[in-house]
Every structure is written in C-alpha cells, then in structure tokens.
Homo-oligomer: A and B are copies of this chain.
Amino acid sequence: MNYQGKRWRTIWRNADDTIGVIDQRLLPHQFQTLALRTMEECAEAIRNMTVRGAPLIGATAAYGICLAIRDDSSEKSIHTALKTLMFTRPTAVNLLWALNQMLAAVSALPSEKRLERAWQRAAEICDEDVETNEAIGRHGQAIFREILAKKPDGSRLNVLTHCNAGWLACVDWGTALAPIFMAHDAGLPVHVWVDETRPRNQGASLTAWELKQHGVPHTVVVDNAGGHLMQHGLVDLVIVGTDRTTAQGDVCNKIGTYLKALAARDNGVPFYVALPSSTIDWTLRDGLAEIPIEERNAAEVTHLRGKTADGALVEIQVTPDGSPASNYGFDVTPARLVTALITEKGVCAASEPALKKLFGR
C-alpha cells in the first residue's frame, strides 16, 4: 500500500538478508522501519508489538525461521527457533500455522538445502496472504458497488469500520480494508467512519493512518458515535475483520464490534465481516459459549500514549489513582446480526450450511 506515494508491504527481505518491517509502535506519529537481523530479533519484534496483526505475525515468524537457518541450519537450531517463536504471543493461530508451514517445507531436506527453501516458503506465505486479501477485496468491492448503485447519483458511500483490519495487520491490503482501498482505487466515492477502538486505539492510530496515506476520505469518531450515525442515515454499510469465526458464523472480533452490529440491525444497515478462511474455527459452533475472551492488562484502559504539542511521545493516565479497570479484548457477534461473510472464496451467509457449501465441507 501507499506511504508518501511509495508502494509498501509490511515485511520484506533486504539485500543483506535482514528482514525489513515498519515499527508500528510509533504510528501514527512516526514512520520508522527496522531491520531484524536474527531469529531472536524477529521474536522480540512480535513480543513487543513492533509488528502485530495475525497474518503479519505469521509472516514475521516465517522469516524468523529463515534467519535461524541462515545462522545454523541444524535440526536443533530449527527446533529452538520454533519454540522461541511459538510463545511470542498467546492467541496466535496464524503464528502456529506459519511455523508448521516452514517446518514442513524444510525438515525433510538436507541441511545445506534448507536455507534456500526457507526463503522461498516465507516469500510464498507473504504472497499468499496478499492474494487472499486481494480476493476478499474484489468480492467486497462488488458489494460496495451494489449498495452504491441504489443511492442517488453523486452520493458517497459511507462505510463504518471498527479496529484495524488493514494492510498493517497483514502483508498488504488488509481484510476489511481491502474492499475499501480497491473501491477507492477504482474511483468509487468511498468515505470511511473510523471507530477510534478503545482501549488500544487501533482505529484512530492505524486505520486512520492507512486511509490518510492512501488518500481515502475518512473521519475518526469515538466508539460511542456509530449508533447515532446509523440512526441518521450516515452509514451505508459496516465492515469489520474477525479474529475467529465459528462454523455457524459467529464472529469474535475486537471488543465493541457487537454493539455496532446491534446498531446496524436496529437501523437496517448491512453488517459485513471480511475474513481469510484461515480464521474459521470449524471445531466451534456457539461463539458466545465456546470462545474464551482474553482479558488484557488494565493499564491499556487507564493509560494512553500520544504525541504532545512539541512532538514527544508520552503516556498519560486518564483514570483516578486507585480506580480499578478491566479490559476484555474481544466480544462475540452472533451470526444472526451478520449480513454476510466476505471470504477469499466468495461471499456467503453467516450460517453453517452456507459456510460448508462455500468451502466444500
């Protein structure tokens, strides 16, 4: 995607065989790239959230395996790397998947052939992520066009999104944001309401930054505003990503997603979820009963980072000393509130029969 007019991915191999990434902890206030030089530096970049987003975490771990093999291509070295990378983040479905892919690719090879194959497989993992997101973008864009076609000529298409399911979370394009970027590139008059997404503000800091850099018209709103916007006809559709989708189409996504889905239903606004099929957990059905919700550090609620007038990045406390806080990371939107799922294979209803049919299961 675009940053200052140049095309970027979120991760790349440098000529000196280090791994280039964007330090996402400094966004939206500073854009800095880093070169990860060792497997351990890749692991640390995942741990400290230099990189985040399930697909990008997977890609970073894959390149971590490459760097481990570059330094020592023995089986012992590879297994040390696997164990180190596996425990960098707790949720990590994509992380395990990417590590398994790397292991499958290199483990049967003689040690001197492993490095070349590892570089190749890591690059494929990145390219596959881009292709998946491009497909989601195409399917989503078709929906955008249908909805816009029903509006009076000259109308803009108002899309509301929550959190960041953009290219910074992936290798390129993003999931929920892919149709937005593609529609904008195709000349559709898209305008995006960006939910701030407390407590970590991924909307205000990352989604707004992506849209700004790509030139997509957008407006940041607090998470409280979406209902009011929908009541007044200012939202044509909602599109969000998902961290985990059950076999019956329940959607576990960033905390607050459920509230927007309720408001969409109450106001007749379609509510879409964009997902690579890798987020579908075919072993679960009832998301509300079966998906455990991670409770994160309360400091994410009580403290906030931002830029002062003189450009320094500082952290401030917003709650009274001694007032406890709680911080549930996700909520579950029941399938009944989801208009459709947009996957790389196409669009389907949020139901078990529709999902099974689309994926031939």
Contact B225 A256 (CB under 8 A): yes
Is A25 an interface residue, CB under 8 A from the partner? Answer: no
Contact among B198, B263, B316 with A308 in the assembled complex (CB-CB below 8 Å): B316
One of A108-116, A145-153, A299-307 at the interface? A299-307
Return the chain B residue nearest A210 by Cβ: B320
Contact among B208, B229, B266, B328 with A320 in the assembled complex (CB-CB below 8 Å): B208
Chain B residue numbers with a CB within 8 Å of A226 are 259
Measured CA separation A41–B306 after assembly (Å): 34
Measured CA separation A311–B35 after assembly (Å): 36
Is A218 an interface residue, CB under 8 A from the partner? Answer: yes
- Interface residues contributed by chain A, number (CB under 8 Å): 66
CB distance from A208 to the nearest CB of B (A): 4
Q: A209-B323, A231-B331 are in contact. Are A201 and B262 (CB under 8 A)?
A: no
Which residues in window 179-230 of A have CB below 8 A to B? 194, 196-199, 201, 204-205, 208-209, 211-212, 218-229
Contact B198 A196 (CB under 8 A): yes
Contact B308 A314 (CB under 8 A): yes
Is A319 an interface residue, CB under 8 A from the partner? Answer: yes
Q: Which of A224, A255, A308 has the most CB of B within 10 A?
A: A224
Contact among B262, B301, B308, B325 with A266 in the assembled complex (CB-CB below 8 Å): B262
Return the chain B residue nearest A293 by Cβ: B228
Contact A224 B198 (CB under 8 A): yes
Return the chain B residue nearest A205 by Cβ: B318
Is A315 an interface residue, CB under 8 A from the partner? Answer: yes
Q: A198-B196, A262-B262, A314-B308 are in contact. Are A225 and B320 (CB under 8 A)?
A: no
Contact A320 B263 (CB under 8 A): no
Is A15 an interface residue, CB under 8 A from the partner? Answer: no
Measured CA separation A170–B212 after assembly (Å): 42
Is A100 an interface residue, CB under 8 A from the partner? Answer: no
Contact B219 A326 (CB under 8 A): yes
CB distance from A235 to the nearest CB of B (A): 13
Contact B227 A331 (CB under 8 A): yes
Contact B218 A324 (CB under 8 A): yes
Measured CA separation A266–B211 after assembly (Å): 33
Chain B residue numbers with a CB within 8 Å of A197 are 224
Is A270 an interface residue, CB under 8 A from the partner? Answer: no
Is A66 an interface residue, CB under 8 A from the partner? Answer: no
Q: List 8 A-B contacts (CB under 8 A).
A: A27-B320, A28-B319, A198-B198, A209-B323, A221-B326, A224-B256, A225-B328, A259-B259
A: which residues have CB within 8 A of B? Answer: 27-29, 194, 196-199, 201, 204-205, 208-209, 211-212, 218-229, 231, 254-256, 258-260, 262-263, 266, 288, 293, 301-309, 314-328, 330-332
Q: A231-B258, A304-B316 are in contact. List 13 more A-B contacts (CB 8 A).
A: A198-B222, A199-B222, A201-B318, A205-B320, A211-B323, A218-B324, A220-B326, A221-B301, A221-B327, A227-B259, A259-B260, A305-B318, A307-B316
